[in-house]
C-alpha cells in the first residue's frame, strides 16, 4: 500500500512563543492543538486520531489525550527524537488510508529555555538499562560533541571546511530577518560564524541551533475532509523513516539515516530531488544540514560543502531554498525537537503563506527531513514529501 495521495495536511500552526515560563507543558500542547484545528477549520470533536512523541508529558499519548479530552480510535507515540513529527505525518496518512482515523492531530511542545536546560553541552545520564549508556555517558557524550565528531570526520574525508558549514547559518539568518517571531534576526556572515566561540571542535557557537520554548501542531485528514475545508490542498506524496546507529562497531559517521528514509520517500512520491522547490532540513547544527542534503540526493556524498556555499540555500538567490522561517539555527527549536517546525514551514511554502520576502514562486513540491537523537551515536531519520494540489 502506498500513502501517495491518501491524506492531506489541512491544519498547521506554530506557537509564536520562544519563552514561556508562565505556561505548563500540557498547556503549550493544547494551545498548539487549538491553533492547528482552527487553521484547518475543524474542531476538537472532529479529531479521531492523536500522535505525539517523547516531549508529551505522561505515558505516550495517555495524559495528553485525557488533558485535551479527545475521543480517539487511533493513537501513535512513535518516538524517533526530533524527527518523530515528520514520521507522524506519514503514519497518519497510513492510518487514514487504512480507515483507522479521518482527522489526525499531531502535537509538539517544550520549554527547555524556561527550564534553563544546557541542551547541547550537558551529558545526560539516561536510563542505565539503555545498553549504550554505560559505554558512553562516562565519556561525556552530549549533543554538540556527538554532531561535532561527524563534522570532524566529514572534513577529514571530503575536505569540508568551517567556512562551508558557516554558509548554512548565513542562509538561515537571511531568512530569519523576515520572521518577527525568530529568536535571532540579525543577518550574519561567514566570518561571524567561524569567529564565534568554539563549542565542540569544529562546531562554533553559530553552528548550533537556538534553545527555545514553543511548539506546533499539524492536522492530517482524509481526502474528502480536506476537500470540504477552505484551506489550500497540501497532499502527502511520500514518506520514509529509518534508524542508524554504530553498526555493531563498524562506525561510519559520514552518512545518516536519511540515506534510507530519503530514497524511500522519493520512490513513494514518484519524484526526484530535482523536483523539490523548497526543502525544510533539520538544522540542529550546520553539519546536520550538510550531511542530510547529501543523503537525500541533492548533491553527491562529499559535495555538500560546495553545494551549500555562496548562498545556494538562500531563497531567491540559490537553487535550493531551505528553512525559510530561519529554522532551528535562528528561529526556534521547541522541545529540542525540530521536526515539527520543519513540516510547518514546508506547508506555509506550499500554501504560498511564507513571508513574501522568502516565498518560493510556484512552490508545488516540498520536502521536510529530520534527524532525531544524536547523529554521531544513534538517530532516527524521517523524510516527508508534499505537493500543492
Sites of contact with another protein (CB under 8 A): 121, 125, 128-129, 131-142, 144-146, 148-153, 156, 197-203, 246-251, 253, 377
User: C-beta of 118: minimal distance to another protein in Å?
Assistant: 9
Q: Which of 111, 108, 87, 110 shows the shortest CA–CA distance to 12?
A: 108
User: C-beta of 158: minimal distance to another protein in Å?
Assistant: 12
With respect to another protein, which residue has the nearer C-beta, 197 or 356?
197
With respect to another protein, which residue has the nearer C-beta, 141 or 182?
141
d(CA 149, CA 375): 9
Which residue bears the cell 505525539? 52
User: C-beta of 56: minimal distance to another protein in Å?
Assistant: 27
With respect to another protein, which residue has the nearer C-beta, 251 or 357?
251
With respect to another protein, which residue has the nearer C-beta, 160 or 315?
160
- What count of Cα atoms within 13 Å lies in the side-chain half-sphere of residue 363? 33
CA geometry: angle 270, 272, 277, nearest 5 deg: 110
The helix or strand, by DSSP H or E, that contains position 149, with its residue range, turns out to be helix 144-158
User: C-beta of 250: minimal distance to another protein in Å?
Assistant: 7
Q: Supply the Cα-derived Rg of the chain in whole angstroms.
A: 19
How many beta carbons lie within 10 A of that of residue 334, not counting itself?
Answer: 31
Residues 6+ apart with CB under 8 A from 302: 157, 158, 160, 294
With respect to another protein, which residue has the nearer C-beta, 118 or 267?
118
Strands annotated E in 276-378: 278-281, 365-373
With respect to another protein, which residue has the nearer C-beta, 43 or 195?
195
Distance from chain centroid for Cα 379: 13
User: C-beta of 134: minimal distance to another protein in Å?
Assistant: 4
User: C-beta of 149: minimal distance to another protein in Å?
Assistant: 4
Amino acid at each position: 500500500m502506498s500513502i501517495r495521495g491518501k491524506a492531506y495536511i489541512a491544519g498547521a500552526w506554530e506557537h509564536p512563543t520562544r519563552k514561556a515560563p508562565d505556561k505548563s507543558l500540557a498547556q503549550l500542547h493544547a494551545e498548539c492543538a487549538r491553533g492547528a484545528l482552527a487553521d484547518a477549520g475543524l474542531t476538537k470533536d472532529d479529531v479521531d486520531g492523536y500522535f505525539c512523541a517523547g516531549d508529551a508529558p505522561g505515558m505516550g499519548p495517555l495524559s495528553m489525550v485525557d488533558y485535551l479530552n479527545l475521543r480517539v480510535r487511533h493513537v501513535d507515540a512513535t518516538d524517533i527524537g526530533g524527527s518523530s513529527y515528520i514520521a507522524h505525518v506519514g503514519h497518519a496518512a497510513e492510518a487514514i488510508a487504512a480507515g483507522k482515523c479521518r482527522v489526525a492531530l499531531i502535537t509538539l511542545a517544550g520549554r527547555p529555555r524556561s527550564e534553563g536546560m544546557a541542551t547541547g553541552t550537558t551529558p545526560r545520564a539516561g536510563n542505565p538499562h539503555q545498553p549504550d549508556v554505560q559505554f558512553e555517558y562516562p565519556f561525556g557524550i552530549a549533543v554538540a560533541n556527538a554532531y561535532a565528531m561527524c563534522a570532524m570526520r566529514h572534513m577529514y574525508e571530503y575536505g569540508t571546511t568551517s567556512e562551508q558549514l558557516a554558509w548554512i547559518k548565513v542562509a538561515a539568518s537571511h531568512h530569519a530577518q523576515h520572521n518577527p517571531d525568530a529568536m535571532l534576526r540579525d543577518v550574519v556572515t561567514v566570518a561571524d560564524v567561524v569567529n564565534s566561540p568554539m563549542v565542540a571542535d569544529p562546531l562554533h557557537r553559530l553552528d548550533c541551533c537556538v534553545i527555545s520554548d514553543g511548539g506546533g501542531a499539524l492536522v492530517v485528514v482524509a481526502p474528502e475532509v480536506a476537500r470540504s475545508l477552505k484551506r489550500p490542498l497540501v497532499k502527502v506524496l511520500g514518506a520514509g523513516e529509518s534508524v542508524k546507529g554504530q553498526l555493531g562497531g563498524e562506525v561510519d559517521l559520514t552518512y545518516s539515516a536519511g540515506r534510507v528514509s530519503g530514497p524511500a520517500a522519493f520512490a513513494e512520491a514518484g519524484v526526484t530531488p530535482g523536483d523539490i522547490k523548497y526543502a525544510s532540513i533539520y538544522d540542529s547544527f550546520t553539519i546536520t544540514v550538510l550531511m542530510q542534503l547529501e543523503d537525500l540526493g541533492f548533491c553527491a556524498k562529499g559535495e555538500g560543502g560546495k553545494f551549500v556555499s555562496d548562498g545556494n540555500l538562500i531563497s531567491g538567490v540559490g537553487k535550493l531554498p531551505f528553512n525559510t522561517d530561519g529554522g532551528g539555527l535562528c528561529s526556534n527549536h521547541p522541545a529540542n525537537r525540530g521536526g515539527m517546525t520543519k513540516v510547518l514551514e514546508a506547508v506555509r511554502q506550499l500554501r504560498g503563506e511564507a513571508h513574501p520576502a522568502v516565498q518560493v514562486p510556484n512552490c508545488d513540491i516540498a520536502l521536510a527531513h529530520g534527524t532525531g537523537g544524536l547523529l554521531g551515536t544513534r538517530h532516527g531519520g524521517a523524510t516527508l514529501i508534499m505537493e500543492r494540489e
